[in-house]
Structure 1
Amino acid sequence: MGTIWSPDLEGKSGPKYQRVADTIRTAVDDGVLQCGTKLPPVRELAYQLRITPGTVARAYTLLTDEGLLQAEVGRGTFVAEKQSRVLDDVWSRELHLQEARDPHHVSLFSPRMVDVGQVSALRQAMEQVSRGDPLLFLNYPTRDAYLPVRQAVVHWLEGQALGPLGEADVVLTHGGQNGILTVLQTVLRDPQPVILVEDLSYAGFRRAAELLRAKVLGVAMDEQGIVPDSLELAIRKSGAQVLCTSPEVHNPTGLFTPLKRRQEIVEVARRHGVQIVEDDCYRMGEAKAPSYRALAPDMTWHVFSISKNLTPALRVGFALAPTGRSQDLRRAAEYSYFGLAQPLAEVTRILLSDPRTKELAREVRREMAKYVRVAVNALGGFELVWNDEVPFLWLKLPAGWRSAAFTRAAEAKGVQIRSADEFALRDGRAPNAVRICVNGHVSLKRFEEAMQRLRTLLDNPPEQISV
């Protein structure tokens, strides 16, 4: 069956062969080009588009290698039958939950994502990049070259309460931590600036501050997050320039800051001209309240990554500048590291542009939630903060245990967890608690066994309290 399909490349960016390939993919996905449809001959399509036959041939080869098209000698090029395509509706899992060399040892230090098809998706994206324009592998990064990637990021964030957002507001970073550091480099001034964080907070805030020779002070928090009165007092005493916070999923406690409290915090920060750095890297599901960037788009720097949604292996993050500050943020990134490697940026674009990737992220959440529920079933009799869309749990220890002693005892049983001490400021006081992360690289059975070991320890505190 032939076709009278005529593609339109207007409004598309990237190398011409890639634009042709993307247009064909869209036509297949939308049903305009159905299985078995014959595409125009190379020279005919090249004439229609006013490009070289070699460019069209390259696009056809790319899609044939992917399995979207099928070339038949003497007959032409056709849209492949669905069952013959390499790219199916759901990417296949490649990580088969294998036991470690030491099956007794389970690391719960940091979240490890279960593979629901990300490995396969990344392999295919990297293959596609490997066949890309040679200049992708030879040129320095440029702002124009990253335009399609930034557009893909904006598309990925559609529907989220992040305030006004265009591609110019997005800066690509080497993961969330690099995003925080880049933002602080943009914002901080004076010989020894002051940064405020929650009394218990992500250690990366402090590490970034140390690199910039900034002083870090803690702000009191309750079950809803930062206490506004304490924030006001801390700003007055210190002259702080920046507040670093994680309102949607607080790391390490998993607490959530509701809208009313966020509005109160914004009022305090605005009154004193304090910038807000919003770390959103641990949120896996939909936000439950508008972000600080939505509430205060002129003074909020939003940082997130795909580490907890898809994979931490790429080390790709994104920083969103406040209104009118995108040029400042971009300059800090360019002066610091020029930009992401172009092949890595292109892999990111392919991944975030594919409509199936959001379903991958949803499936990651569903699978990780199974681990969270296993942990809750084992440890739910204790004081536990958890959410099945957060890849860690916060456990307040019962009488008889101190966090340092408990983590040592757990490690002796083959389970590595983090003490609350690791999230407290050097001169601060840590609660008697531990953070337990989900490890999706081990089977549910092994994970449950690890939870049972922790349960046994909790039920049997030492006779003498040790520190």
Structure 2
Amino acid sequence: MTVTEPAPPAPRHTPAAVPPLAARAGSVGGSPVRDILAVTARPEVINFAGGLPAPELFDREGIAAAFRDVLAETPERALQYSTTEGEPSLRTGLAARISAGGLATDADDLLITTGSQQGLSLLATALLDPGDTVLVEDPCYLAALQAFGLAGARVVAVPGDADGVDAQALEELVARERPKLFYTVPTFQNPTGRTLPGERRAAVAEVAARSGVWIVEDDPYGELRYEGERVPWIASYPGAQDRTVLLGSFSKVMAPGLRLGWLRAPAALRRACVVAKQAADLHTPTLNQLAAARYLTGLDAHVARVRDVYRERRDAMVAGLPEALPEGSAWARPEGGMFLWARLPESYDTTALLPKVVRQDVAYVPGAPFYAGEPDRSTLRLCFVTQTPAEIGEGLRRLGEGLRQA
């Protein structure tokens, strides 16, 4: 005899909808840079859109040796949980590098982060309540706008010029807006490549000292200087020491896949960031930290090799722009970093033009997403470090053809 299972009873009501996402999840968009990289992942595309270090320059042998040594000598420690603040050997070596750069630093002044981007998220958690005001450069690093937006902050742009933020405009906005912090990338800024002169850094420090505002000084590119004299960190200027957070990264000088950054901050704020990091990921991977600490002894020689290559690539892009961009365009020659910022004639909208240019198998980042306020739609960002000089020349030829056809 066959036994038939009874059918399940029909539902007596319609299931309720699941609760909605947090409001902040819908108020902040994704990264246009990441979107462009996904669309242009085809190998034939010469991609000036990403901020990607040149992979062929990674010191694979040196980094691999550091990992092997750590795993051979201290495997129990390398594969175990670590302190939230970071491995002492890495913080000690990093503190020595920062001190040699002109800013006296102890290991206890530092928090190791999972990339410097996490530093921004931790600061947003520790400092910002929904509705707080943040001042940023105009234009501004895109992921910082995301981090502040997700924290529910009101973001206001500070006007500037080819040298960077206008200190007088900053002071006026601080008085009017009463912000919690001012965020800046003063050296080889992303996206513009510009560097804030020393006298303006001193003026920014004075504004912060008089007003009580925090300065968040982001410096992922400072070691990539190709010409000119180094400008001291804002954190080293009088009046700024007790109110400046300095962020740094190993992504551009060692390898971004290690996801290693750092945060130097006054004690109370640093402790708040430690608590925020405990809630986020407990600590940055121990093995990566110990390998980086071991690799620090050879880092300067590696960075010197990278600088020589990147300088040549910067020069190739600067040399090719006059033929690639339409008459009336303007750009500046950055002294270092990874990016070149260009402004086309006012009639050009680089966001609208991008799909047409991509058909020529080349890509850039439109400038509009980098603006907290009204964007300049004629601007674009080009990364010059990822391709060889020959590839840069061909990419600029394609860019020029795409712009002429569009």
TM-score after normalising by structure 2:
0.81
Instruction: Say whether 1:206 aligns with 2:145.
Output: yes
**Structure 1 segment 64-463 matched on structure 2, within 5 A:** 104-114=44-54, 115-116=56-57, 118-137=59-78, 139-142=80-83, 146-161=87-102, 163-188=103-128, 190-285=129-224, 288-295=230-237, 296-322=240-266, 325-352=269-296, 354=297, 356-380=298-322, 382-387=329-334, 389-398=336-345, 400-425=347-372, 427-440=373-386, 442-458=387-403, 460=404, 462=406
Q: Which is worse superposed, 265-274 or 136-145?
A: 136-145
Q: Could you say what secondary structure the match of 1:131 adopts?
A: helix
SS at match of 2:256: coil
Render the CA deviation track for 1:375-414: whole Å, top value 9, x for unaligned: 1111046522232522111111135522223323321211
Structure 2 SS opposite 1:301: strand
| AA partner of residue 124 (structure 1) | A
Larger relative contact order, structure 1 or 2 (CA cutoff 8 Å, min sep 6): 2
Percent of pairs identical after alignment? Answer: 24
Amino acid of the residue matched to residue 133 of structure 2? V
- Kindly name which structure, 1 or 2, has the bigger radius of gyration based on alpha carbons: 1
Shift of the alpha carbon at 1:239?
1.8
2:41 & 2:146 partners in 1: Cα distance? 33
Distance 1:101 1:321, change over 3 A: closer
- How far apart, in 1, do the equivalents of 2:158 and 2:130 lie? 22
Report Cα offsets for 1:358-379 as digits up to 9, x if no partner: 1111111111111111111110
Per-residue CA distance 1:36-94 (angstroms, 9 max, x = gap) = xxxxxxxxxxxxxxxxxxxxxxxxxxxxxxxxxxxxxxxxxxxxxxxxxxxxxxxxxxx
Q: How far apart, CA to CA, are the structure 2 residues paired with 1:323 and 1:297?
A: 12
Unaligned runs of 5+ in 2: 1-39, 324-328
Matched AA of 1:432: S
Q: Note if contact 1:224-1:258 (Cα within 8 Å) is conserved in structure 2.
A: yes
1:421 counterpart letter in structure 2 = A
C-alpha distance in 2, partners of 1:185/1:101? 34
Answer whether contact 1:200 1:430 (CA < 8 A) is retained.
no
Structure 1 CA distance for aligned equivalents of residues 46 and 405 of structure 2: 21
Question: In the superposition, relative to structure 1, how do residues 340 and 213 fare at CA in structure 2: closer, same or farther (>3 Å)?
Answer: same
Supply the AA of the counterpart residue of 2:94: V
Q: Which amino acid aligns with 1:265?
A: V
Whichever residue aligns with residue 303 of structure 1, its letter is: L
2:115–2:260 CA contact under 8 A, matched in 1? yes
Question: Residue 103 of structure 1: CA displacement?
Answer: 5.2
Give the Å deviation of 1:130: 2.7
Amino acid corresponding to residue 383 of structure 1 in structure 2: A
Distance 2:42 2:83 in 1: 46
Q: Which amino acid aligns with 2:401?
A: T
Q: CA RMSD in A?
A: 2.4
Unaligned runs of 5+ in 1: 1-99, 463-467
Q: 1:337-370: CA deviations, max 9, x gaps?
A: 2211211111111112x2x221111111111111
Cα distance per residue 1:131-171 (max 9 Å; x no partner): 2434225532126871111012123334213x331111111
Tell me if the contact between 2:59 and 2:302 (Cα under 8 Å) persists in the aligned partners.
Answer: yes
Decide whether aligned partners of structure 1 residues 399 and 201 sit closer, same or farther in structure 2, where only a CA change above 3 A counts. Answer: closer
* 2:135 counterpart SS class: strand
Q: What secondary structure sits across from 1:358 in the alignment?
A: helix
Task: List structure 1 runs of 4+ shifted beyond 6 angstroms.
Answer: none
Find the aligned partners of 1:133 and 1:231 in 2 and give their Cα distance.
50
CA distance in 1, matches of 2:100, 2:358: 42
- Partner of 2:293, secondary structure, is helix
State the aligned residue count: 356
